[in-house]
Structure formats: structure tokens, C-alpha cells
């Protein structure tokens, strides 16, 4: 197991209030992708903010209703839209690991988000058991996209992240070796120069290490009773 990285990274701003997050999703048309009304989205956010409050929580739409391919293109950085790499046409087939329990609801909250900078230069194979031992749950790809959507500063050069809660199972039941991640395009290769600095959804091998990729995780997921 590699040593934990102690290098100083950016202190991220707090997430907006849940009501503000709801308006952001409405502005981007996420509710239409998910088949939800603006009233449903606003009511969920309002109920989640009171009485206990939802400070620091991320509002997410269930991946079954808003897939990664639809959400990725809504991301923006330097005025450029997000995209999925060309060799990941099956991005929406990446599903939660068996150990990741998703609420059975169209909307839910994630708490205790962490970008996992300290695990930079770990492999997914190394990071997953460590997160599990800490009672943390790895983010799904769609959840990571939601995070960047609401808090663009979470995605920065040399401090991007993997979302290893989403994996693809092959026909024989084994896991595909690819693990999804979100980072910033350099505009090289098949990305195209016009995509330099755009948010990028791609993948890395589960056994490989990358010095610039942490492992996004949360303390839990919950549904606020309305």
C-alpha cells in the first residue's frame, strides 16, 4: 500500500445550499432528463434543508434517471462543455458496486464529501479497501459529475479524482478493468485541441496509479423524508 500523500491541496469552498443546488439543476435541465418536475426538485431541497439542515450535502439524481452520458455534457470549464472520451461508449453501463447501497428514490443526498487527494498515486485496487476500512463509500461517476456541476472548483489541474463506486461487469460476472474518473482535458489525441481545459469523463486501469488523481468518497447517502 503506498503512503498517504500529505502535500497541501486546495481548500474547497462549501457546497451551495440545497435550494441553490436545486435551482442549478433546473437551470441546466437535469430535472427534464430525470423526468422530474421543478416542483418535485424544489420540494425535496426545501424539506432537506429543514429542520436539521443540509449544510455540506450534495443533491444527487439517481443514475437510473439521469445517466452519466447526459450529465457530462452539462459540465463547463473555461466556457467549454464536458465530454465523455470516445473509447467509453458504454459509460452508462457502469453501475454501482455491490457494496454501494443507493437509496431507492429519484433524489438523494451525499454527505461528507472528500476528493481523496491524500490517496493520489494509489491504484483503485488499493484505494477501495482503504476507503471501506474507514467506513467511507466511493462516489459513483454520476455523483462525481453532480459534484463538479455544483462546485466547479473541485476539478483542478493536478487534483482531479476517480469515481470507483461505478464499475462495469462483463458477461462472465467479472469486473471490467476500467475505472471511471473525471479530469481536465489537455486537448491532445482524440480529445481535439478545441477541448483543451474542458471537463473530461474518462477511465483508468484498476491496477494503475496516477499522481494527479485522488479517490472521491462520501460518508453516506440518505433520502430526506418529505
pLDDT per residue, tens digit, the chain (226 aa), is 676 655 445 677 789 999 999 999 999 999 999 999 999 999 999 999 875 556 789 999 999 999 999 999 999 999 999 999 999 999 999 999 999 999 999 999 999 999 999 999 999 999 999 999 999 999 999 999 999 999 999 999 999 999 999 999 999 999 999 999 999 999 999 999 999 999 999 999 999 999 999 999 999 999 975 4
| pLDDT in the model for residue 215 | 98
pLDDT at 11: 75
Bridge partners of 77, per DSSP, are 80
Element (H, E) at 131: helix 124-133
Q: In whole angstroms, give the CA distance from residue 108 to residue 37.
A: 15
**Cα 179 to chain center, whole Å?**
12
Q: Which residues contact 223 (CB under 8 A, 6 or more apart)?
A: 103, 105, 107, 108, 109
How high is the pLDDT of residue 226? 44
Q: What is the pTM of this model?
A: 0.94
Amino acid at each position: 500500500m503506498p503512503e498517504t500523500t500529505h502535500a497541501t491541496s486546495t481548500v474547497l469552498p462549501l457546497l451551495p445550499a440545497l435550494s441553490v443546488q436545486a435551482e442549478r439543476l433546473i437551470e441546466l435541465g437535469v430535472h427534464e432528463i430525470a423526468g422530474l418536475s421543478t416542483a418535485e426538485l424544489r420540494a425535496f431541497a426545501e424539506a432537506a434543508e429543514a429542520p436539521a439542515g443540509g449544510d455540506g450535502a450534495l443533491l444527487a439524481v439517481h443514475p437510473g434517471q439521469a445517466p452519466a452520458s447526459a450529465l457530462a455534457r452539462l459540465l463547463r470549464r473555461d466556457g467549454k462543455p464536458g465530454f465523455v472520451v470516445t473509447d467509453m461508449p458504454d459509460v452508462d453501463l457502469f453501475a454501482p458496486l455491490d457494496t454501494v447501497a443507493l437509496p431507492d428514490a429519484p433524489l438523494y443526498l451525499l454527505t461528507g464529501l472528500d476528493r481523496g487527494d491524500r490517496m493520489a498515486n494509489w491504484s483503485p485496487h488499493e484505494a477501495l479497501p482503504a476507503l471501506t476500512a474507514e467506513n467511507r463509500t466511493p462516489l459513483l461517476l454520476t455523483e462525481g459529475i453532480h459534484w463538479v456541476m455544483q462546485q466547479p472548483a473541485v476539478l483542478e489541474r493536478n487534483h482531479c479524482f476517480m469515481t470507483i463506486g461505478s464499475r462495469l461487469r462483463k458477461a462472465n460476472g467479472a469486473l471490467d478493468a476500467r475505472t471511471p474518473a473525471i479530469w481536465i482535458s489537455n486537448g491532445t489525441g482524440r480529445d481535439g485541441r478545441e477541448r483543451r481545459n474542458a471537463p473530461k469523463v474518462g477511465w483508468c486501469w484498476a491496477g494503475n496509479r496516477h499522481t494527479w488523481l485522488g479517490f472521491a468518497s462520501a460518508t453516506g447517502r440518505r433520502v430526506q423524508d418529505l
